[in-house]
Structure 1
Amino acid sequence: MDLEFQRVLLKVQESLTGDEVQDLVFLCSDLLSLKDLCTVSSAGQLFSLLEKRNQLSCEDPSLLLELLRIMKQNSLIRNLTSDDYKQTNGTTYSQQISPYRQLLYERSESICEQDLQNIKFLLLKTLSRKKLEKDTPSALTLLSPVGIMEEQVDRLSLTEGPALISGDQCQNLDSNSVIENKSLNLSVTSQNTEIQQYEMKGDRRGFGLIINNYDFRACTLGNREGTDIDKERLEVVFKWLGFEVLVEQDCNRHQILQVLRNLAARDHTPADCVVCCVLSHGRVEGICGVDGEIVTFRELIETLSPNECPSLCKKPKLFFIQACRGNDNQPAAFPQTCSEDEDMLFSDAAVPRDSIPEMADYLLAMSTVPHYVSYREKGRGTWFIQSLCHSLQLLVPRGIDLLSILTQVNSDVSKKTDKSGLRKQMPQPEFTLTKRVVFPPPKSHRPLP
């Protein structure tokens, strides 16, 4: 029976590609040590390690079948169970791959090339440029424990004398880390990876400003049908979160800046943070006022800088921007002709590409990536704002942090399309947050229905 089982493993090994072997390694990350995983370059090596630790055998092949099931190798499972190996004892085996690993794997399968580039951007301060510039086949390669171990080894400088570690090189090691260069044994103690949270214990959560631009009759831009639906949903959700919501309607360039200056002039000492939602048209260089004049990205956020508003220093300043970031002539970006009684898609073209100023504690969650439009439905509001509100309502009570919530928003919006199947949208958060943003539902506010 052992020989037959080895033939089964050999058939599996021959059927898997290099990328699929890396997927297997990731899924088994909780079952084997990092030291062992770093040596794996083929499915056969992985199976041998699992057999040595009695986690895989001819008597209990459940782990193999579970791995193939997660990876959707259904035809291979059918061949194995029908031709090479049959379970005759009817035993039900317990699940060995954690739901967390399965979730990450399933998410990675739905990540497109643009998503992968966004992940690399978010990991700029976590992984080395050398690793990020590699021809990475999947997000799992970046996030796997093996990748993390390789990253730590790359950061170390091994010398014949005492170990020399620069400030950048030792940022992932604690003070008890030791390098014994004669035997090249690397001992890295576990590091407390808990990320601090911004305090959310103030007398009130803070101000939530909504700038809702609908009426553009003063310029050549069209009115933004459906934006009031977004405004009303944002107002309900942020009041539920404990914010004192301020709504400003149809602001021109001067009024947008003045409203933000007025917000900066308020005393935010008892508040935890501030939120600013801007719903408007836009162009490449900035957000449009209802007069068609531009407020640049930098102008928008610098009104709440520590110099302009000291009481917001070291507190999160959260901007949610519903506007396009370009209007390039791409086939999937423009509305098609449809009947008048049909919900139409509109585009708001486009927020600026200015980079985030070098100041901490900012988040800019934008409805789309650079150079693309974002969509608004006349009877339902925008894809981005409606998904944002739904995700906040669903995930805040579970203690999920804001960046994770925005990742869910990215996932939800990326799956949306119109009836033609041609129009797509990908939101993009940019941030200089130094801690996690976790909203506790205020005790004085009942959950939304």
Structure 2
Amino acid sequence: MKGLNMDRRKLSQIDEELGSSDVEALCFLCLDVLNRKRLEGIKHARELFLRLEEKGLLDNQTFILHLLRTIQRFDLVRFLDTENQRVVETDSCPLLSKYRVMLYKIYEDMTEENLEKLKFLLKENLPRRLMEKSRTALDVFSELEKAELLSQTNVDGLLEYLLRFDQKLASLVRDYKDGAQLNLHCSMNDKQVCVGGICAGRQSLPALLPQKPVLSIPETENYFGGMTIVSDAQPITKPCSPPDEAEFYALVHEPRGLCVVISNEKFTGPELGLRRGTRKDEETLEALFTKFGFKVVLHRDLTAQAMREEVNTLGQRNFINEDALVVCVLSHGDQGCVFGTDEKKVSLKELTLPFTGIQAPTLTGKPKLFFIQACQGKEFQKGALPCPPKPAQEKVQTQLEEDSGPVYGETVPSDADFLIGMATVEECKSFRHVVTGSIYIQKLCEMLEKSAESTEPDDILSILTRVNKEVSKGNYMGQKQMPQPKYTLTKKLVLTFVKENMN
């Protein structure tokens, strides 16, 4: 294989093609093969190449190719005329540290917002001046390594912090941990291993070594700091609970998020009637979510196609500076769908699909709430009445209408962080008062407001359970209504009033 000592012209050209961020990344990736001091002050790739040459790492093209492939400079890989040459790597002796490649991937995928979150969380572990000086995640990782708070064998603290705000980044660390433990077990082969004073050969390893050790650290304890030391024979019987913040969705931006209300009142076809009372639902939703700190956008009387276009456009929006999305659809409906004003169907899946992690990456890890006021079929929800309706109720009952239409599908998305609050269960009707608004939306807003006014607000699922109870107690045109929440939330969501919006 031709040595790179014979290709100095190419190295010089590669140096010209690499920007400062590329050089910074290459230096970080080389921290396991070069002394940190030898890498300090390097501004140009040619300086790094000289250091690598001194260590004999440029005797062939393998190492430099692996570096370029890792930072995804495939144009330079092709430039070296080695496109058909495979980089040889084994699990036992990788060309680049899997630990460092893992950190580089985190750096690549980390947004500016998440970098600021990480630096904020680390303020008690590292001096403020170091965090202010750190421009990138690579700088942060380097400072953690200098302080001996991060290493190939100690990534638990980093994992705990990433779990607070980005599950995908945390999965990179978790995958590395699992792979490192597997390699540790495999590398022991037939060596004798002693655990807690008990020695065993290779066959006994699975029983003696935990496959996935769990590290739990209380909120007040330094995540990267000191370790509790116990004897090999002394188990930790009371693991600490994870921090409370990790259990709740963060609502910190102004505005908190976007609340979109699609309200269909007037239908152009012969089958679906005027939805009197929907204006009251609009007013109630707008007033409530404004107090929650959301920007409220109202769309009235949309056709099926217009509804699709609206949610698709909304899904392409940048939500990086918002914490949540709320979509309220007030219309006639059938099983698994709602109707546009042209009496054509829009499936609930069409409403949620534009906001999955793949379609709307800036909403990943953030709660997406859908409240659907519409019938889901033609059946009435039956119930046992304790006594006959009183005559005084007749007038009220005649002002109730159904949000029904001609029925069909599954609505809960498979992706995380969705909640779909349905006014009724599948195949059944929901009811709307022509003056005071729909039963479900009004009771939902009432319960949300009561919780927000409480000294100890409830999470959204507890509130929806209360809504179920309150709505199901009612008697509507001699029938019952049973709401149904469906969710894939991964944390608790607590909605509270923003002070400036309470007046």
Task: Tell me the TM-score range normalised by the shorter chain.
Answer: 0.5 to 0.7
CA contact (8 A) 1:343 1:378 kept: no
CA contact (8 A) 2:253 2:321 kept: yes
1:189 to 238, 244, 247: 238
In the other structure, the counterpart of 1:73 is none
**In 1: Cα distance, 2:324 partner to 2:408 partner:** 24
User: Which structure 2 residues correspond to residues 2-81 of structure 1 after superposition, within 5 A?
Assistant: none
In the other structure, the counterpart of 2:399 is 344
**In 1: Cα distance, 2:485 partner to 2:336 partner:** 18
Deviations 1:349-377 (Å, cap 9, x if unpaired)? 27854142221110101111122111111
CA contact (8 A) 1:221 1:292 kept: yes
**In 2: Cα distance, 1:313 partner to 1:382 partner:** 31
**In 2: Cα distance, 1:329 partner to 1:436 partner:** 33
Distance 1:198 1:361, change over 3 A: same
Shift of 1:440: 3.0
Deviations 1:371-418 (Å, cap 9, x if unpaired)? 211111112111110011111111023332111111111111111113
In the other structure, the counterpart of 1:267 is 318
1:320 to 358, 364, 371: 371
* Paired AA for residue 298 in structure 1: K
Instruction: Determine whether 1:411 maps to 2:452.
Output: no
**In 1: Cα distance, 2:337 partner to 2:251 partner:** 32
Structure number with larger C-alpha Rg: 2
Distance 1:213 1:189, change over 3 A: same
**In 2: Cα distance, 1:387 partner to 1:410 partner:** 9
In the other structure, the counterpart of 2:460 is 402
In the other structure, the counterpart of 1:239 is 290
Deviations 1:290-349 (Å, cap 9, x if unpaired)? 11111111111002222322221211111001111211266669xx9x978864221112
Distance 1:171 1:377, change over 3 A: farther
In the other structure, the counterpart of 2:440 is 384
In the other structure, the counterpart of 1:358 is 414
Equivalenced residues, count: 279
Distance 1:320 1:341, change over 3 A: closer
Task: For residue 303 of structure 1, give the secondary structure of its aligned residue in structure 2.
Answer: helix
Distance 1:188 1:370, change over 3 A: farther
**In 1: Cα distance, 2:422 partner to 2:215 partner:** 31
**In 2: Cα distance, 1:408 partner to 1:339 partner:** 27
Task: For residue 321 of structure 1, give the secondary structure of its aligned residue in structure 2.
Answer: strand
In the other structure, the counterpart of 1:445 is 501
Identity across aligned pairs (percent)? 34
* Paired AA for residue 475 in structure 2: T
User: Which structure 2 residues correspond to residues 109-188 of structure 1 after superposition, within 5 A?
Assistant: 162=207
Task: For residue 274 of structure 1, give the secondary structure of its aligned residue in structure 2.
Answer: strand
Task: For residue 439 of structure 1, give the secondary structure of its aligned residue in structure 2.
Answer: coil
Task: For residue 208 of structure 1, give the secondary structure of its aligned residue in structure 2.
Answer: strand
Distance 1:428 1:254, change over 3 A: same
Distance 1:262 1:412, change over 3 A: same
Task: For residue 281 of structure 2, give the secondary structure of its aligned residue in structure 1.
Answer: helix
In the other structure, the counterpart of 2:136 is none
CA contact (8 A) 2:447 2:463 kept: yes
Distance 1:342 1:392, change over 3 A: closer
**In 2: Cα distance, 1:405 partner to 1:287 partner:** 24
**In 1: Cα distance, 2:466 partner to 2:215 partner:** 29
In the other structure, the counterpart of 1:226 is 277
* Paired AA for residue 400 in structure 2: L
**In 2: Cα distance, 1:240 partner to 1:385 partner:** 16
* TM-score for the superposition, normalised by structure 1: 0.55
Deviations 1:128-170 (Å, cap 9, x if unpaired)? xxxxxxxxxxxxxxxxxxxxxxxxxxxxxxxxx9589998xx9
Structure number having the greater helix percentage: 2
**In 2: Cα distance, 1:329 partner to 1:417 partner:** 12
Task: For residue 262 of structure 2, give the secondary structure of its aligned residue in structure 1.
Answer: strand
CA contact (8 A) 2:266 2:341 kept: yes
Distance 1:166 1:347, change over 3 A: farther
CA contact (8 A) 1:376 1:383 kept: yes
**In 1: Cα distance, 2:312 partner to 2:241 partner:** 40
* Paired AA for residue 383 in structure 1: I
CA contact (8 A) 1:416 1:424 kept: yes
In the other structure, the counterpart of 1:217 is 268
- Runs of at least 5 residues in structure 2 that lack an aligned partner in the other structure: 1-205, 219-227, 229-234
Distance 1:303 1:406, change over 3 A: same
**In 2: Cα distance, 1:257 partner to 1:426 partner:** 28
* TM-score for the superposition, normalised by structure 2: 0.49
